Amino acid sequence: MKIAVAQLNFHVGNFEGNLNKMLAAVKTAKKQKADIVCFSELATTAYPPRDFVEFDDFVDQAEETVNKLAKAAKGIAIIVGSISRNPVIEGKDLYNSAYFLENGKVKEVRHKALLPTYDIFDEYRYFEPANEFKIVKFKGKKIALTICEDMWNLGNENPLYTVCPMDELMPQKPDLMINVSASPFAYDHAQERIDVLKANVDKYKLPLFYINHSGAQTEVIFDGGSIVMSPDGKVFEELPYFEECVKTYNLEEVEKGGKVSEQPKDKMQLIHDSIILGIKDYFGKLGFKRAIFGLSGGIDSAVTAVLAARALGEDNVRAVLMPSEFSSDHSINDARELAKNLGIQYDIIPIQKAYESFKELLYPHFLGTSFGIAEENIQARTRGVLLMAMSNKFGNILLNTSNKSEAAVGYGTLYGDMCGGLSVIADVYKTDVFALARFINKDGEVIPENTITKPPSAELRPDQKDSDSLPDYAILDEILYQYIEKQQGPKEIIEMGFDEKLVRRILRLVNINEFKRYQTPPILRVSSKAFGMGRRMPIVGKYLS
């Protein structure tokens, strides 16, 4: 038997586009002499469809898409993920399902049993879990057909569920496992995914075909990396990251094993490629083309500029330099040099006149007060107004350039440097922004060396440095990582050797600035715990305040 893995980039709600992609992949699989072609979880709707599934018309279109796809299942079988209705009154109205299509019609439907409800996942909000488990028979083989999370109750220290679907299927003596999945990207997730799948193969001693999405849906990025695994627990092949592909495998060769082919997992390469895909799909799937952003001469806007230019093309990226009386000459020169290196359009709009006008208007009301945060924020908001004006006038989407360290502790100005349509690097800590800049420059200087080596500064007051109000980023980022990604409380972090007063101050900053993060653009998710839909914290809370 020959099995084709179709790793595709789908678009939420674009039923016609998704269907056409799958029909093209079916043709490719047929040319490769495949007996089955497998698509990923919720391939008809793309993942995650979220509250769209509450519309009957949306569900109807998903079902119509499956039926249209079934007509192509002649001379080849098709496995595809989609939603299906629950025919009984009790329970949720829908299932997250995998369809087996053969001879022009739907032959079998299997439902997802383990419904993740954590981080970005909220499947129990919509779906009823499977309550029965049956193999699928095809060409003399018994297939254990499962969906994503159904395989994730093995190979981890803290199982979330009390059942393993494969345990329920094994008495039926399956010959192979096929798992259709929508497994989001995080820079450390690929190896974890392999470990979980290996745990299943080691336990059940069956070959495994694991099919994943490739592409981005707003903030959620899927890296592909579909996996074929031999019964010996070795990766027969891991498909490329962040690419679409259709590849067919001979089941007998997979059963024999021997071939071991994994993708490299360099952290900076993964973050770099994932963000480029995230930008590209955000713009492409929304019908946008051109981006604009503020280019300060600092490291964050520099990295954002490179990623945007690589995602959209140099002709579709526009930078605006907005110097003030506090901007250093080298910052302006660094920004100009970077723009020239990238070949992107740039404009220089000094903000001094606008800033002075605001101060003049506010003078009677600010009389008797000294220069402070308000004056700093006026500068940031002036820049925000100018960028949004350019965005409105020319139809460019504003990219936000804040990093995760700043977003965590509230080191940013609402309606100023925190505005934008998409936040590009807000899931990348400052220390990793520097590492990413070095990665970008590995084959030659793109980002000016001075941008990387100079002390970070918002340049909103004389001789300002980030270090005036924040600890060294190496220390700050480790504390933030332990609190945000690892969910460690103050006691645990202090026991790691960090200063107690510093830890409590930083954690308090994270919590009291939640209101800011509720008002920021969607953030491209590259870590295991990004701000946004995957981290739900109360704005009004007493914890550590």
- Reading phi first (left if > 0) and then psi (alpha if -120 to 50, else beta), residue 459 is in left
Look at residue 85 and give its three-state secondary structure: strand
Distance CA 33, CA 75 (A): 10
Distance CA 273, CA 517 (A): 25
The full DSSP string for 327-388 is: --HHHHHHHHHHHHHHT-EEEE---HHHHHHHHHHHHHHHTT--S-HHHHHHHHHHHHHHHH
Q: Tokens representing 353?
A: 């006149």
Look at residue 18 and give its three-state secondary structure: helix
CB 292 within 8 A of CB 319: yes
The contacts of residue 315 (CB under 8 Å, 6+ apart) are none
Q: What is the DSSP letter of 180?
A: E
CB 425 within 8 A of CB 431: no
Q: Is the dihedral of CA 240, 241, 243, 244 positive or negative?
A: positive
Q: Tokens representing 185?
A: 């990207």
Distance CA 204, CA 179 (A): 14
Distance CA 378, CA 415 (A): 10
Catalytic residue among 38, 148, 164, 419: 148
200-221 burial: b if 16+ Cβ within 10 Å, else e: bbeebebbbbbbbbbbbbbbbb
Told to judge if 148 belongs to the known catalytic residues of this protein, a careful annotator would answer: yes
Distance CA 520, CA 131 (A): 41
Q: Is the dihedral of CA 249, 254, 260, 266 positive or negative?
A: positive
- Hey, which residues are catalytic here? 41, 112, 148
